[in-house]
Amino acid sequence: MGRLAGRVALITGASQGIGAAIAARFAAEGAHVALCARRAEPLEARAAAIRASGGSVSQRAFDVADHAALADFVATTAAQHGRLDVLVNNAPSVTYSAIVDMTPESFRKDFEVNVNSAFVATREAFKVMLPAQRGSIINISSINGLLGLGNMSAYGAAKAALIHFTKCAAMEGARANVRVNAIAPGVINTPATVAGFAGPYADWGKKIASQVPMGRFGEAHEIAGVALFLASDDSAYVTATCISADGGKAAELVVPPP
Active site residues: 155
Concatenated DSSP letters of the chain? --TTTT-EEEEES-SSHHHHHHHHHHHHTT-EEEEEES-HHHHHHHHHHHHHTT-EEEEEE--TTSHHHHHHHHHHHHHHHT---EEEE-------B-GGG--HHHHHHHHIIIIIHHHHHHHHHHHHHHHHT-EEEEEE--GGGTS--TTBHHHHHHHHHHHHHHHHHHHHHGGGTEEEEEEEE-SB--HHHHHHTSGGGHHHHHHHHHTSTTSS-B-HHHHHHHHHHHHSGGGTT--S-EEEESTTGGG-------
